Structure formats: structure tokens, C-alpha cells
Structure 1
Amino acid sequence: MAYEAVESLQQTLRIILLRDDGLITPLVKQRIISIHDKAVGLQLNLKHFSEKEIIREVANASEEIIQFLFSPQNLSDCESIDSTVRLSDQLGELAEELESTVGYVIDYCKINGHSVRQQSDVAVGFDEGLSDSTAATSSSGPASTSRYFVADFAEDPSIYPPMSRDDVVGFDEDKAQMMDRITDNSYSNREILPIVGMGGIGKSTLAKYVYDDPMIIDQYDIRAWVTISQDYSIPSILSQLLASLNGKVHQVGRDYSLIVIEAEKLEIYKILLGRRYLIVMDNVWSVEAWDHVQRLFPNNRNGSRIILTTRLMDVASYAANSWDIHMMRFLDDEQSWCLFHRKVFGDQDCPHELRSVGEKIVKGCGGLPLSIVTVAGLLSRIPRTPKLWQQIEVNDGQLGSILSLSYNHLPPHLRKCLLYMAGFPQDYEILASELIKLWVAEGFLECQNEFESIEMAAEECLEDLIKQSLVLNTSRKSDGKTKSCRLHSMVRDFCVRLAGQEKFLLSAMDYFSNPILRRHFLPQILQNHHRISASWHDLYLRDSTYSSCTTSIICIPQRGYRPKCSIENFISLRVLHVLHRNDHSYWELGQVFELIYLTYLASSIPDSIVPPAIAKLQNLQTLIIYRSDVRLPVEIWSLRQLRHLIAFSFCPLLLPGGATISLENLQTLSTATNFVCSKRMVDMIPNIKKLGICYSEEKFGAGHYYIYKLIGLRRVEKLKLEMHGSYVPLLDTFPQLLKKLELNGRWISWKDMTIVGSLPNLQVLKLKNYACYGEQWATTVGEFRKLILLLIDESNLKHWKARGRHFPMLKCLILHRCPYLDEIPEDIGNIPTLELIEIDDHNQSLLHSANKIQATHKKDRIKVVVKRS
């Protein structure tokens, strides 16, 4: 219990340092840090001190004193300068008392022959860990005990040597691919080969691995390596290049005039002219940097190559063709352990008692080589005991510095978008559509021009973060846009720390791993943070909890008992997002509908009926309900700011009586059951862009519901139509701006597909569950002019006649569950843009046809994929 008592004392001190009420003056802060350091000293020497009950009593008493000193009763007159001086004096007295206890413990340990941990050894970084600097040093939230334990042993991360070739693990496939590109003599022109990935993933290591390969050394007349920094200068690049090419030491501090610069450029060009060269441009941060140097490298048409490493996809795409870009992958579990084992144990076996704890530590590195090497370098310097290893977390001071470079490179609005993602749990796959809506609701973005919606601007921001290797794209939609994403564990740790330090967003579960501590301290923390991320249980708050500060809550449901939570006192709440999980947690709607400033609400609800009180939420822009058969009241039409209305399914919408009320801002409506697409309905949602509709046969066939006015929805770009039953509607027209169309169930015959093919803007077409009936499909010239993806999933199609020019822009063809279709039209292979053909593993004839098309054309242009069922 002594260990827990000391840890609780430290947690209390960290909470106090998060206060933002004028009490934490520099002197008070210094006193608190001093007390914390002494608590750490007690904890580090606790193992060798026999009278642990003394330490427990001292820690508990100290915590009670701290809590009293910062209680409302004691701070009733704390606005005066005298009171803060008195507070610092009281804290100083407590620090002195603790000092004597620490001294007693240390003397005891020395007398009994144990090594001693001085608190001065571990105090480094506590002040930094709670400062406003962007280069964070701890691994999860405010500094934790294990972080200081690490600091006791860790050396300056900058002195860790880079991975040698013998230490490289998991790069065999990457090296083979790069070697093939570099040594391929069929490409005589000068080739640019970018390597892209997040900081610490091994881009430079891979480049060095290839650069130093004996085969490469023999094949090239001359090689050079130059590192481009974020704040690069042309003179520095030129001097590095010349030094590398001439084998001389890099000259620093020369006086570079324009004449000298031009002379050195000419000298570099002459050295490379006519020779087969390999140049590595390491760590390129901007297209401008590449523009400044690319003219230095002549195209000798002799197989010269330039390797360019960068975190930024835009730089890579600018410098080379997309098929030349090599994307770095994270190490898998086996590769991660192999690298860790080699760094810690060399050729020796890992002791059995360290295996499980070691694997847990390695798994926390998330497959990032630099993280693994860093923690391995730390563990190789400390005693090999399971108990000691269990207290070690990844010492990511070096990683924090690397990520700070990327973070500082971002414009302010992208920094906000990135830090906001710290509110989602570790390894949580975030739906891009929800993330974009949340960013918009938070007001992080502005439209750049009148032709761009705020959602389009948010999509571009997400792509920018992915291109900068800060956000991982976990899946893409058929149109190439991001469907889901997540943060790498190291990036998320960085964001959690920085978001907390800047009081931008507090991830309560990361800052306080103990739920009891969270429940105790969260009411205090709420007063200082506008945005919080917390579990459902954490928000089971006392009735007296009141927060006029909190504007956003990301709520993380947890399985098991769900207490009745209260948000009625969050009077300024604008965003309430409950993560979509299968435990059906929900808020009391009576409380939610009193939050009149709410702009975003995503949650389950107690039952399928939404009460008329929703009309109180006049600022609501996004409503997402995790439930089917939702019944909306007619009052929904009064929410004039509504932009997105989403549920698993909505019952038929009630229309208001009297004058027509239009939701002019509504962009998304999905999924509407038995939707009445009448002229009046079209007038009420004139600007809808994304529409999902589901019809049932008994209703649709009776003629009560009709869709012939779909063409009136002129702004619809994405349309999903589902038909449950065998009834076939008279479908003869679609909105002309349609970019994505999905038909599910019987909708149209193959011979009538010209209706779809004539859509001028259609890019994605998905035909599922016998969407088209009949056995033959013949396309003609002029159809599907912009179609990029075609999916046919479950069909009776037997004969398909088409020419390549019928689908002039097709990139992806997917054919699943088409048992009667024996072949793909051979001329499909002549489509210049075609990149992928995907077939399931049930139709061997179709697979043979796809392989034949691939063999007839360039094998590296068309990829054939078999989907296993």
C-alpha cells in the first residue's frame, strides 16, 4: 500500500499543477515540484526500505495537507498576494518535512548496502512535462512515476547511434524493392525514387542500407548523400553535396556570395555530367527545396538514380510519379521482437521471465523502429529484472523531438485538427465522415472560396495530415477518399501530452489510469478544459458538478454496468459525441434537449421515438442516432441550421402542415425508409448532397411512395438506393450532378443502363444484390465518361460486350459473385487508366480472363487481386 500512497500523492500534485486560477505562481509551482521530487525519491527507494508503513503514513498525511491547502475553505481569500505567499510558505514547510523523511530513508539504504536513488537524479523533466513547450518528453499525459524512473537511467537520446546494417530488421522486402528499382537497367533515364513515411519509421535507415550495399557501390561511378533540414539553406546543401562528392569534410561558416553559389552549382553539375551517379536527398521538407537542387543533377541517360526521403506525400508526388513512391510499413510483431531482441540481448537468448514483459513493452512501440531501438537502448543499460522492466515505459524524448518537427511544420488549423484526434482511444479506427463533421462543429476550419463547402475544406485537411505521415489511412472509399483513419500510438501519445499542456483537450483516461482518481479529480479538471474525452463511467458525476467551461465531450462507452449519467450542468456544451460501440449507451434526452448551444449530437437513444422537445436545439447542425427505425417528430423541420441527419434507418418523415418549411442547409439524409420523393419534399431539402433511401415491396408496390422526382434533387452527388423485395420501379432518370451511385436490389435492366451511363459526372458505380436484371450488357461509346470504379456484386450477367473507349477513365474493376460471367471484355485492358481488377475465388474462368488481360499488357500497370471468400 505504500507504493500506491506515494503514487496517489504524486497524482494530486499533478492535478494541482493543471489549475489555471492564478494560484500557481512560479514560486508555488517550484514548491510543488520540490515536493513531487521528494515523493519520487521515496518511491524509488521504497524497495530497500523495510519500514514501508512509515512511508505510507507520510505520503497519506502529505496528501491530506496538500488537499487542505488547496481546498475552497483554505483558499477563500486567496485572491490577495499575501495569501499566495502564505501558501508557498506552507508548501515549503511540507517540503522540508518530507526532506527529512527522504534523508532518513536514504541513510537507511546506504547503511544496509543498497544503491541509492536521489531525487535530484530523477527530477529532470517534471517542470518541462507540464510546461507550455511543444517538445514533450513524457510518454503518456503528465509526467508519470515510470517516466521519472526511466529518466534515472536514460542518456541523452541524441547520442544513441543509428541502426547499423546488422541491426536492421524487417527491411528485407523494402530493400529488395528499392534494389530492383535502382538496378533496373530497362530505365535509362534519371529516376527519382522517393521513400515516404512518418518520423522514426526507418526511411533514412533504408536509404543508407541500400546506399552502402556492395552491389550499389560497384554499379555506380559516384555516390553522394546530403541531408536537407526543415530550415535548409542552399549554401548548406551545396557544401554538403560537394563534400560528399569530393570525399572532403563538410565546410561550415563560409561566406557564400551569389557568385560562389553559382560556381558551386556548376562544379556539382560538371562532376556528375556523363557519370552514373546515386544521390540520396535525405529528409526533404518542401517542394521548394527540391526545386532548388533538381537542376544540379543531369539526365545522363545511363541509369542514374536519386533517392529522396520525406515525411510529406506532396513532396514525393511532386518529385516523382506515383508508382515510383515507396511507402514505409510498420514492423509486425515478429519483426518488432526480433529487432528488440537483437538490440538488448544480441546473440543470447531472452530469459524466460523477461519474455512476456518484454513483448508487452515492444507491442507498445507500435511497430515503429525508432521507438523500439530507443527503448531497447534504455533496457540494455539497466538490471534485467521483470519488476524493474514493468516500470519502464518508452522513453520517447527523442521521438517527441522528431514529432515536434512535423507538428511545428503544420499551419495552426491543422495543429488543432491533429490534437483533437487525441480524444479518441488508442488504436481506435476513426470514421473520416464523423471526424470531418466534428472538426466543422468545433469551428476549426474556414472555407477558402465560395465554391467550397466547409466539409470539403475538412476533407482536404485530413488528406494533408495523411500526406504529412501524421495520420494513418486505414481504409479508403471507392472514390479514393479516406474512409477511416487512426493515429499511431507514438503520435497519439505526443498529441495527448501537447493537447493537455495547452489546455486544448484533456484525455482523462490517459492522464489518470485509475478510474477512482478520475472520478475524484474530474470535477476539478472540468473547470479548466473546454474539451474533454472521458469514459461513460467517468461522467457519472455528483449532482453538484457544474461546468460553464466545457464545450465538447467525447464519451467512450464501456461494457458492463452503465450508471445513469448527467450532463444537465454542462450549460455551455456544443459538441456531444458518444463513440459508436455496441453497448447502446445513451443520455437522457430530457437533459440533452436543454443544452440549447448544442451544434453536434451523436449518440444512441432510449427508444426509437425522438420527442418534440428536439425543437429546442435551434443551433443543431449534426444529428447522428445509432439506432434503426427512428421516428422523428414533425418539429425536426424547425431546425434550420441542420446539415446532417443520419441514423441506421428513419421511419417515413412526417411533413409539416401549412406553409412549406425548407431545410436549406441540409446536406446529408441517410437512411430514409420509404422516402416520398414528391415535389414538396424536393422543395423542403433543396441542397441535399448525400441521400440514402430504402424501400420495402409492400409499401412501394402499392404506389404510396414514388421516386420520379429524384431528378429534382439537383445537388445530390451521392445516392444509395435499396430495394427489399422483387418489385421493379420505373426508374428512368437521376440527378445530373451524381458522382456516386449505389443500387442494391432489383432496380433496372442491363439494357436500360444507358440511363446510368449517360450521367456526365458519375465516378463510382456499385451494383449489388442483382441490382440489374437480365443476362446481357452491351455498352456504347459516350457512356461512363468519368467512371473510375465499377463494382458488380451478385449478378446473373452472362455476356458483357464492351470496348475500352466505353470506360475511358476506369481505374478499378471489381467483380464478385458473378457465377455465369465467363470473361471480361478483352479490350478493357486497353483502358490506359486501368490499375486494378479484383475477382473472387469462385469463378476460375473470370480469373483466367483477368490474368490474360494482365499478361497482354504491361504487368506492372494492371494488378489482378483475388478476394478470398
Structure 2
Amino acid sequence: MDVASYAAISWNIHMMRFLDDEQSWRLFHHKVFGDQDCPLELQSVGETIVKRCGGLPLKIVTMAGLLSRIPRTPKSWQQFEGNDWQLGSILSLSYNHLHPHLRKCFLYMAAFPQDYDIHASEIIKLWVAEGFMERQNESENVEMVAEECLEDPIKQTLVLITCRKSDGKIKRCRLHSMVRDFCVRQAGEEKFLLPVMDYFPTPILRKHFLPQLLQNHPRISVSWHDLHLRDSTHSLSTTSIICIPQRGYRPKGSVQNFTSLRVLHVLHRDDRSYWELGQVFELSNLTYLASNIPDSIVPPAISKLQNLQTLIIYRYGVHLPVEIWSLRKLRHLIAFSFHPLSLPEGATLSLESLQTLSVATNFDELGMIPNINKLGICYSEENFYAGYRAGYLRSLVRLEKLKLQKHSSFVPHLNLVFPLSLKKLELSGRWISWRDMTIVGSLPNLQVLKLKKYACYGEHWETIDEEFGNLIHLLIDESNLKCWTTDSNHFPRLQCLTLHRCPYLDAIPFDIGEIPTLELIEIDDHNQSLLYSAKKIQEEQRVHWGKEGLKVAVKRS
């Protein structure tokens, strides 16, 4: 109320209150049954359970998430009817109904600070590195299994989605403060993971108790400063460290005495904390490393980490030694940008386990990464024709996500060929003319297409039948496009259209409004004619087709 009163000048303040019985039931019913009717045999027990939630929306939603996951029978629901329903009890029930390996996944989130937005890709890679995933068979992609596992605690309202990707998948998530309190307490009680700063909020307490704690907990999350420990501090039982950078003086991190360490993850917060690499490279059990490094050069000693599966470096222009190709288990190799990767002489072996490589400069040795799933390559102007080889990409039959950047002012004449497996394509720099876009439109599995920094040259784009059959999201950012001719049948599944910095495009094709799946049109605030066009499409849908779902958003520059 104090914040609202201070902020409000001419607006009315919405008074927050508990929900009454009718509103509580409506919220519960929507979360459990959606548009379906509640079975009569569940009506009475359901109303009793909802009444015990006391009108608190978080309790109702959490309870609904739990009941939606168990058999819809009176007997199943009646076991929850007579409890006091404190929030901790509800969360305990949701937690206990998770499969044992999903409980580990949920408790692992206690490692992240309060109000921290957890990137889905970040937590998925950590779960895989910890070995939490259970696959039905060896052919299953373990990252995809982990992605599905993230959905389960979300369905039980234990984890909140804060941002989705353009293809609808989860991009970022977080724990509600009350849920995180439960998660921290449960993780500590089970000696699964200890968020040190939650249990010991002052540096003096941590300095005194941390050496003892390290002997009793296999996984810890801890501040960067607390890892600048005395040489006498050691731990043979600590297998995972999630490190939280802090402002101020940043001493070198020391992991010299953590000989059993498998996971070493520093949250990325634009800081320059780094480890003594000589110590890190002695950790022969290490499977996961995400951190900054002292300078851009990775020494050959990295070859000692033969168990390494994930290497993430928070730095541009990283120089990797030729020894990187000896890491046979490597699955993810990521930095803001890598310098050109050198190959060993007479190289015949490939990194068959590598799933992600991003962002590599002038990379053309695609035969070395035959099973790559996600690839980012940046070409410089002087090395473009030497580095890019038309047709090589087609050999990557497992490639689903491709980002090609080109820092160049000239317009190449390329015979672009993409693998049919592509689901997401991002082109930046001048790559293709609008008249040749059928090369992209014919990709059968493409769901997301992002065209940035004049990726397509020319002024006119005319699509044809049987193109972009599965495209969900189309983004055009910086373009000279003047005229766009299309038909609603050309983008039958489009949900989101984003047009930024397209100063010469006066109108969105009116047929775009006839696409039944379209949910959002986003325009920047510099092109008023485009905004008018989008509003007109929105109004046409509302008046003539009775559709209220289309949103028109304006991105402020």
C-alpha cells in the first residue's frame, strides 16, 4: 500500500484482498478442470478443500496444481480434505508427489539466490551434469529429457515461468519467495544441497562454520568471497559448487582442496571473477565448468579434464588450444565468441558427443562435429569466403538451431543450403535476397526465423504456396523491405510477428490477419504506419470474426 500510494498520482489504487468463496472456487476450477465441468462426485470435497485455503490465491493455485496431478476420485481427494493447509503443508504434498529424481531437480533450485531468474538452458545443463536424468533408452537425448522434467514442477506450481522463448518453450523461470523458503529448508534438511548464505547470512558466521559444513554437504551454493579460503580448508565430499559473485573486491577463487569436485558453476553477472586455472585443471572428475577466465587464452592443460561435458566461458575472443579436440565427452562448448579453432595435424577423430558449439569464428570444419544440435558461427569480412563453404551445413543431419552472423558490408552471391532438420534459424548480416527466400521457406521443420541486420537484401518479398508450413515466430529486425506480398495460407501456424526497424515498410499484408493462430504483432515505436496497419488488422479480427485474442504490442526504443 505504501508503494502504491507513493506511485499513484491520478490512478485509483487496487486494494488487495482475499478471494471470497465464489472467486476461490472459480480460480481452483479453472486451474484443475480448465473449460470442463467439475464431476459431481468431486464437487463437495473440492469445495471443502478450497474453503480451507482461506481465500489466499497462492494456496489455491498450489493446491490445484497438486490435485490436477493425482487421480480424480473422491477417495484420492479426501486425503487432503481435513488438513490445516498451511502453505508449507501444501508444498510438502506437492514435493512428495514428485518422482524421486524430480525432487532432486527441484531442490537443486535452492542454489540460486532470491528473485534470480534461472535460465532453462542453465538449469538443464546442471541437472545433466549432476546425473539426475533417467532415460528410457540410450538413444534419448538427455537434454530433452531434462527439458521435459522442468515442466513437472511448473505444472505443480512449484516453479514459475518468467519468460518463454519464441517457440513457446521455457526460457527463464524462478521460485516464488515462499516456495524458495521451503526449497532451501528441505534441501538443507536432506543434506542434499546447502545454500550457505541463507543459513549463515553474515561473512563472520560463514568464515567460522563453512569449513565444517563442507564436510557434511555434497553440494553448496556460496558467495565468491567465501571461497577465498585458508589453505587448511579442504573437502573430499564436496562435489558441486554454485558460486554467487558479489560486488567489490574479487580475489582469485581457490578450489585447490576440492579434489572430488564435479560441478563448478559461477552465476553470470557481468563480473570478472575468475579461478586459478592451474587448480581447476587438476580436478580430474570435473564434468561441468562455467566461469570467467583470467585472460582470453585457455592453456593446453585443459586436456587433463577428460570427463568434461560442459565448458562455458563468460568472455569474448576466447583462444582454445588444439587439445580441446581430445575431450571426447564434451557436449557443450560455449563462449561469447571463440577465435578460429585450430585442428591437430592429420586429425581424423571428431567430437561425436558435441551438441552445442557457440559462437565460433570462421568455423568450417563441420565434419568434426557430426552430431551437433545447436551451432553459432560468426564470419568476419576478410575471412568469409575462406571460411564459408556452401553445402557443408546440409551434412549436419541433427542440427536444429543455427545462428549465422556476418560482419560484412558486401553482398555475397551464395548457394545457401540448410539441413532439413532445422527448427530455428537466425541470420544476421547480408546473407540472402528476398526473392531467394524459398530456400528458407521450404524447410519443413522450421518454427522460428529471425532475420537481423539486413539479413535479406532487396525491397520486395513475395511468398508462395507451401512455404513456412510450421513457422511459429517470424522476426525481421533492420531491413530495407518496402513491399511484402503474402497469403494467410503461406504462414498457416504463425503465432508471433515481430517487425523492428523496418522504416520503408508501410503496411503489414492484410491477409496476415486471417491466420487463425496469430496471437501477437509487435512493432517498434518509430513506424507509425506499421502500427496503424497492425491496429487495423486487430480491429478487423474483432469486428468481423469476433476474435479478441490478437495483441498488438509496441516496443519502446
Could you state the TM-score of these two structures normalised by the residue count of structure 1?
A: 0.56
What percent identity do the matched residue pairs reach?
A: 70
Residue 812 of structure 1 is aligned with which of 496, 501, 513?
Answer: 496
Residue 444 of structure 2 is aligned with which of 739, 746, 760?
Answer: 760
| Cα gap change, 1:634 to 1:707, in 2 (>3 Å) | farther
Partner AA of 2:96 in structure 1? N
Residue 506 of structure 2 is aligned with which of 795, 818, 822?
Answer: 822
Separation in structure 1 between the aligned mates of residue 459 and residue 227 of structure 2, nearest angstrom: 58
Matched, 1:170 2:19: no
Give the drift of 1:745.
1.0
Residue 601 of structure 1 is aligned with which of 265, 289, 292?
Answer: 289
Give the drift of 1:613.
0.5
Give the drift of 1:592.
0.3
Matched, 1:416 2:104: yes
Matched, 1:208 2:208: no
| Cα gap change, 1:704 to 1:683, in 2 (>3 Å) | closer
Q: Which structure dedicates a bigger proportion of its chain to helix?
A: 1
Partner of 1:195: none
Separation in structure 1 between the aligned mates of residue 69 and residue 130 of structure 2, nearest angstrom: 33
Matched, 1:700 2:384: yes
Matched, 1:670 2:358: yes
Separation in structure 2 between the aligned mates of residue 860 and residue 239 of structure 1, nearest angstrom: 35
Give the drift of 1:236.
7.4
Give unmatched runs, 5+ long, in structure 1: 1-167, 172-201, 213-223, 229-233, 245-281, 294-395
Partner of 1:795: 479
| Cα gap change, 1:555 to 1:289, in 2 (>3 Å) | closer
Residue 411 of structure 2 is aligned with which of 719, 728, 736?
Answer: 728
- Is the 2:379–2:387 Cα contact (8 Å) retained in structure 1? no
Partner of 1:329: none
Q: Which deviates the most, 462-471 or 396-405? A: 396-405
Write the deviation string for residues 503-560 of structure 1: whole angstroms up to 9, x where unpaired: 0001111111110110111111111110011111111111112211000000111121
Partner of 1:514: 202
Partner of 1:778: 462
Give secondary structure in 2 for the equivalent of 1:815. Answer: strand
| Cα gap change, 1:532 to 1:210, in 2 (>3 Å) | closer
Partner of 1:683: 367
Residue 655 of structure 1 is aligned with which of 336, 343, 349?
Answer: 343
Matched, 1:425 2:143: no
- Is the 1:637–1:663 Cα contact (8 Å) retained in structure 2? yes
Separation in structure 2 between the aligned mates of residue 788 and residue 740 of structure 1, nearest angstrom: 10
Partner of 1:94: none
Partner of 2:424: 740
Residue 146 of structure 2 is aligned with which of 425, 441, 458?
Answer: 458
Separation in structure 1 between the aligned mates of residue 174 and residue 476 of structure 2, nearest angstrom: 30
Aligned residues: 510
| Cα gap change, 1:773 to 1:755, in 2 (>3 Å) | same
- Is the 2:403–2:426 Cα contact (8 Å) retained in structure 1? yes
Partner of 2:264: 576
Partner of 1:399: 87
| Cα gap change, 1:496 to 1:397, in 2 (>3 Å) | farther
Matched, 1:838 2:525: no
Write the deviation string for residues 567-586 of structure 1: whole angstroms up to 9, x where unpaired: 11111000000111222101
| Cα gap change, 1:475 to 1:241, in 2 (>3 Å) | closer
Matched ranges for 1:299-448 at <5 A: 398-448=86-136
Give the drift of 1:564.
3.2
Separation in structure 2 between the aligned mates of residue 551 and residue 669 of structure 1, nearest angstrom: 26
Q: Which deviates the most, 763-772 or 654-663? A: 654-663
Residue 559 of structure 1 is aligned with which of 247, 253, 266?
Answer: 247
Matched, 1:714 2:397: yes
Write the deviation string for residues 257-302 of structure 1: whole angstroms up to 9, x where unpaired: xxxxxxxxxxxxxxxxxxxxxxxxx847445878659xxxxxxxxx
Give the drift of 1:868.
2.1
Partner AA of 1:421 in structure 2? M
- Is the 1:448–1:457 Cα contact (8 Å) retained in structure 2? no
Partner of 1:152: none
Give the drift of 1:563.
2.4
Partner AA of 2:157 in structure 1? S
Give secondary structure in 1 for the equivalent of 2:127. Answer: helix
Give secondary structure in 1 for the equivalent of 2:86. Answer: helix
Give the drift of 1:708.
3.6
Partner of 2:536: 852
| Cα gap change, 1:286 to 1:450, in 2 (>3 Å) | farther
RMSD: 2.7
Matched, 1:611 2:299: yes
Separation in structure 1 between the aligned mates of residue 66 and residue 90 of structure 2, nearest angstrom: 13
Matched, 1:489 2:177: yes
| Cα gap change, 1:613 to 1:763, in 2 (>3 Å) | same
Give secondary structure in 1 for the equivalent of 2:214. Answer: helix
- Is the 2:196–2:220 Cα contact (8 Å) retained in structure 1? yes
Partner AA of 2:511 in structure 1? D
Partner AA of 1:419 in structure 2? L
Residue 276 of structure 2 is aligned with which of 577, 584, 588?
Answer: 588
Separation in structure 2 between the aligned mates of residue 783 and residue 242 of structure 1, nearest angstrom: 50
- Runs of 4+ in structure 1 off by over 6 angstroms are 241-244
Give secondary structure in 1 for the equivalent of 2:148. Answer: helix
Partner AA of 1:720 in structure 2? K
Partner of 1:478: 166
- Is the 1:811–1:833 Cα contact (8 Å) retained in structure 2? yes
Give the drift of 1:421.
0.7
Give the drift of 1:210.
7.3
Partner AA of 2:165 in structure 1? K
Give the drift of 1:707.
4.6
Separation in structure 2 between the aligned mates of residue 545 and residue 491 of structure 1, nearest angstrom: 33
Separation in structure 2 between the aligned mates of residue 417 and residue 211 of structure 1, nearest angstrom: 31
Could you state the TM-score of these two structures normalised by the residue count of structure 2?
A: 0.86
Give the drift of 1:842.
1.6
Write the deviation string for residues 800-857 of structure 1: whole angstroms up to 9, x where unpaired: 1000001111111111111111111111111121111111222121122112222222
Partner of 2:233: 545
Separation in structure 2 between the aligned mates of residue 513 and residue 795 of structure 1, nearest angstrom: 51
Partner of 2:58: none
| Cα gap change, 1:786 to 1:207, in 2 (>3 Å) | farther
Separation in structure 1 between the aligned mates of residue 347 and residue 518 of structure 2, nearest angstrom: 52
Partner of 2:77: none
Give the drift of 1:565.
3.1
Give secondary structure in 2 for the equivalent of 1:646. Answer: strand
- Is the 2:355–2:373 Cα contact (8 Å) retained in structure 1? yes
Separation in structure 1 between the aligned mates of residue 416 and residue 43 of structure 2, nearest angstrom: 65
Separation in structure 2 between the aligned mates of residue 469 and residue 242 of structure 1, nearest angstrom: 20
Partner AA of 2:500 in structure 1? H
Partner AA of 1:691 in structure 2? L
| Cα gap change, 1:792 to 1:705, in 2 (>3 Å) | closer
Matched ranges for 1:281-296 at <5 A: 283=64, 285-287=66-68
Partner AA of 2:395 in structure 1? G
Partner AA of 2:400 in structure 1? E
Separation in structure 2 between the aligned mates of residue 733 and residue 743 of structure 1, nearest angstrom: 13
Partner of 2:36: none
Separation in structure 2 between the aligned mates of residue 758 and residue 211 of structure 1, nearest angstrom: 48
Q: Which deviates the most, 804-813 or 849-858? A: 849-858
Separation in structure 2 between the aligned mates of residue 284 and residue 602 of structure 1, nearest angstrom: 34
- Is the 2:468–2:490 Cα contact (8 Å) retained in structure 1? yes
Give the drift of 1:705.
4.5
Give unmatched runs, 5+ long, in structure 2: 1-13, 34-38, 50-62, 75-83
